[in-house]
Structure 1
Amino acid sequence: MRLNILPLKSAQNLPFWRGPLFLLCLVAAAQPISFATWSALLNNFVVERAGFTGIEIGWLHSVREIPGLLAVGVIGILMVMREQVLALVMLALLGVATALTAHFPSFGGILVLTMLSSIGFHYFETVNHSLQLQWIDKERAPKILGYLSAVGSGAALLAYGLIMLTWDSLKLSYETVYGLSGGLTMLIALYCAFAFAQFQAPSVQHRNLLLRKRYWLYYLLQFFAGARRQIFIVFAAFMMVERFGFTVHALTALFLINYVVNMVLAPFMGQFIARFGERFALIVEYTGLSVVFLAYGGLYWFGWGVGVAGTLYVMDHMFFGLSFALKTYFQKIADPADIAPTAAVAFTINHISAVFLPAGLGYLWVVKPDFVFIAATLLALTSLLLVLLIPRHPSEGHETIFTGS
């Protein structure tokens, strides 16, 4: 099939619903339809159907992060495939793997399908991250990324809302819900493949592995963000099921609240970043996360109840909503031709600790779960110290407070 390649400048003459921003909106919605459903049902599914403990859940998430560690492989694929095509192929793979998840309720089956869905998820996210920074100009990036985050939250909200409203009343099965959500993601990917031109950004991307010394702070922040994020994704939700006995219905309701908050606040967070800068936004994020993770430990030390746990979980998710400031920080300091290869390298760096941390902390969780959250607090505080090295107005050549202004 011959591709219709259209320069990004020419795409400005297209109707919005055929342009690159609408494509970004569609894929921003399609990904969480599968991933949010997978996340909402996962803890109950693996406990009820496969008898998982903290050890198995730790191994599951370690396996899930292996494709993220190998995201640098995207650079090789881009030698033979356009970024936009690769993004849609990986999105479709995520949908197919999600649709099949409940049909293999064993440790081995869940690991295999998790690996496949993870390849789709991480490779899609790597390329999507690159396309966003190439297609959206620097001045509008914080606000547009905020709106895209809101779109993704809205899609996740819809998925969670439907699960909460219909799981008990229609007596749905895991097979049905996983199948419908994965199938919808796949259909959106197919639609995007045929309905849109192939948009060409002005800067031709490098197709080789790049590690630039001047991006060192960005690399470090990505490393600690990956470690910290894994503790939240793996153990915060698992705690709700294991310690407080959350059912599918209750856990989904909590996720629902999270995405309502994020959908409403994400555009304002984008405006906040645009006004006050990436440095201050990330200071707010990491300060808030440090307090929240320490308070998670208090659930074990002081016996706080489910209300406090739920509130902390929502606050945790809310502070994470500022994390796209790291994207716009990189956009400001990067050579435009470095965006695609550096996005791949950054995803790999982000997942170095993510592969090993969940399995190791899974064993610690069985003995001292509060220590897991102490580790997360230390990671957040380290990130906070690193963020202080970001200048108020970062730019190419002025990546840190130690470089030129």
Structure 2
Amino acid sequence: MISFRRSSDIFKPDSGATAFFVSILVWGIGVGCFAATMNNFLSEIHDLNAVERGWLEFFREMPGLALVFILALLYRVSDWRIMRLGTIVSIIGVSLLMLPAGKFAVIGIIMIWSLGEHLVMPVRNAIAMQVARPENAGQSLGTLSGAMHFGHVLGSMMVAGVFWGSTRLLNITDRVVIYDSVWVMIFIMLAISLVCTFAPNAPTQASRRSRLYFRRKFWKFYALELFYGARKQIFMTFAPYVLIRVYGFDTATMALLLGVCATVNIFMAPLVGRLTDRIGYRRVMIYDTVILFFVCLLYGFAGELFAPALVVAVLCANFLLDSVISTSALATNLYAKIISDNQSELTSTLSTGISINHLISVLAAPLGGWVWSHYGVGVLFASAAVMAVFNSLFAMTIPKTDAGAQGNSSK
């Protein structure tokens, strides 16, 4: 993150930059708390099996799939107001989690939370560039990323502390009470984030909304987004659920593990970016999915390959490695940049990629749950490993590019 001494050189005066980044930091804490808690909540309180977890993810991703159309309807609304709207929607979602609810109601509630989260996602990038001086937009986006990652770390650590303190120090045995305390904590964080968005000098303009954009020259990019969407969904949905349902990871352990992953990625994400600049996006795509092949096999068969005393350590290391290599998705975006003719085309292409990504995510979640239920977790992750092989083979068809000149053109 940047130093405060240079903030006046990077951000426009009276732009609301300080309020915005405080809002993002606190928002990140709330989202980090939610992510660290949700899978254990679904397993412990509602006993969702693999099929039900897959279908929940289907509905959770629906707002992301519809996002481009929702933002089109809000084309006259400023980015700050959309961020407020998204925060309010998520506040409603987390508030409803405090009420007694069955499985179907919980799916609807999480869908409300997800709608708010997805509304905030694109506009926070736009606002980060609005509050920055034109020549420092990149640094502002970097600060945004750092604030989000740091917030996730704090949120995960707070959840670990709540569950450890509640069970070990206060001897609270009612898990619902502990989860409700986390929902209250998230409510407070999001309320603070919302208040920060009412900065008096906040820009009032609406950004140009990205549109769906299909061109033949981007077909390999679209295919890579399909691969990444399926890979992302399996990691987000089923990797944590394997640790929880098969190996018994409790909420405090999962929160601590997610916090470690977020901490490591604060430093690893820039290193992956520099590595991509050095060796080229094509090689990163290939090596990434080669590593992913072994990661998937460990998720599926660690219990059979390692002694019980080593399984937990192996799975934690595997989860961390999976989290790190997921940052290599930036290589796909760089490939799109190289073959785009201008910034407008790139922006629209990346927006289309997000929609494709969400489409395959929506389909992969229930399918993955069905495979787990009928054939076992080993077959699910073996299938993911095979998909990783095909991803590597497909990446090899992308034209080689001089890593040092990849910012200009491809060979």
**Global fold match (TM > 0.5):** yes
Counterpart in the other structure of 2:323: 317
Aligned to 2:271: 268
Answering whether residue 356 of structure 2 is matched by residue 363 of structure 1, we say no
- Describe the superposition over 1:272-320 as per-residue Cα deviations: whole angstroms up to 9, x where unpaired: 3344443343334323222211222232542552111111111111111
The amino acid across from 1:159 in the alignment is G
Please say if residues 30 and 184 of structure 1, whose CA atoms lie closer than 8 Å, have aligned partners that are also in contact: yes
Name which of structure 1's ranges 129-138 and 70-79 shifts more when overlaid on structure 2. 129-138
Mapping 1:137-148, distance limit 5 Å: 148=144
Equivalent runs, 1:294-333 vs 2, <5 Å: 294-302=297-305, 305-333=311-339
Deviations along 1:213-252, whole A, 9 cap, x unmatched? 3332222222211111111111111111111111111211
Other-structure match for 1:33: 29
Matched residue, 1:73: 69
Partner secondary structure for residue 378 of structure 1: helix
Equivalent residue in structure 2 for 1:197, among 185, 196, 202: 202
Counterpart Cα distance in 2 of 1:364 and 1:279? 31
Quick one: which amino acid aligns to residue 59 of structure 1?
A: W
The question of whether the paired residues in 2 share the 8 Å contact of 1:283 and 1:384 is answered with yes
Deviation at 1:340, TM superposition (A): 5.2
Query: Paired residue for 1:232?
Result: 235
- 1:58·1:361 contact (CA, 8 Å) conserved in 2? yes
Identity of aligned residues (%): 22
Question: Who is 1:4 aligned against?
Answer: none
The equivalent residue for 1:379 is 387
- Residue deviations 1:330-366, cap 9 Å, x none? 4454432345544442222001121122112212212
The DSSP-based 3-state class of the residue aligned with 2:164 is coil
Residue 50 of structure 1: SS of its match in structure 2? coil
- Deviation of 1:28 (Å): 4.8
3-state SS of 1:173 partner:
helix
Contact 2:333–2:350 under 8 Å retained in 1: no
Residue of structure 2 equivalent to 1:348: 355
Q: Deviations over 1:52-107 (max 9, x none)?
A: 11121111111111112222214522433234432442244234323432424421
Are the counterparts in 2 of residues 64 and 118 from structure 1 also a CA contact under 8 Å? yes
Q: How many matched pairs?
A: 386
User: Are 2:84 and 2:197, in contact at CA under 8 Å, matched by a contact in 1?
Assistant: yes
**1:176 correspondence with 2:177:** no
Separation in structure 2 between the aligned mates of residue 244 and residue 300 of structure 1, nearest angstrom: 9
For normalisation by structure 1, the TM-score amounts to: 0.82
Given the alignment of the two structures, is residue 166 of structure 1 paired with residue 162 of structure 2, yes or no?
Answer: yes
Give the match for residue 118 of structure 2. Answer: 122
Alpha-carbon distance in 1 for matches of 2:78, 2:348: 13
Mark the CA change 1:310 to 1:206 in structure 2 (over 3 Å): closer, same or farther: closer
| Contact map agreement 2:80 2:197 (CA 8 A) in 1 | no
Q: For 1:323 and 1:134, how far apart are their aligned partners in 2?
A: 25
Per the normalisation by structure 2, the TM-score is: 0.81
Q: What secondary structure, in the 3-state scheme, does the structure 1 residue paired with 2:59 have?
A: helix
Q: Deviations over 1:183-215 (max 9, x none)?
A: 3124314412425532869xx846654323333
Partner secondary structure for residue 211 of structure 1: coil
The secondary structure found in structure 2 opposite 1:158 is: helix
> Does structure 2 conserve the Cα–Cα contact (< 8 Å) formed by 1:227 and 1:379?
no
Q: Which runs of 5+ in 1 are unaligned?
A: 1-9
Distance 2:44 2:387 in 1: 32
Seen in structure 2, the aligned counterparts of structure 1 residues 250 and 307 have a Cα distance that, compared at 3 Å, is same
**How far, CA to CA, are the matches of 1:274 and 1:200 in structure 2?**
34
Distance in 2 (alpha carbons) for counterparts of 1:107 and 1:211? 38
Q: Which residue of 2 aligns with 1:7?
A: none
Which runs of no fewer than 5 residues in structure 2 stay unpaired?
Answer: 1-7, 167-171
CA contact (8 A) 1:74 1:344 kept: no
1:371–1:387 CA distance, 2 compared to 1 (3 A): same
Find the counterpart in structure 1 of residue 47 from structure 2.
51
373-382 or 107-116: bigger deviation:
373-382
For the aligned residues, what is the CA RMSD? Answer: 3.4
Deviations 1:151-184 (A, max 9, x none): 3221111111112123232456211212222331
Distance (whole Å) between structure 1 residues aligned to residue 281 and residue 339 of structure 2: 12
Describe the superposition over 1:30-72 as per-residue Cα deviations: whole angstroms up to 9, x where unpaired: 4432332222112221222222111211111111111122222
SS at match of 2:76: coil
Find the partner of 2:12 among 11, 14, 37: 14
Q: Which moved more, 1:131-140 or 1:27-36?
A: 131-140
Where does residue 3 of structure 1 map in the other structure? none
Distance 1:284 1:28, change over 3 A: farther
> Which residue of structure 2 lines up, in the alignment, with residue 188 of structure 1?
193
Counterparts of 1:327 and 1:386, CA distance in 2? 16
Q: 1:375 to 1:238 in 2, by over 3 A?
A: same
CA distance 1:97–1:282, change in 2 (3 Å): same
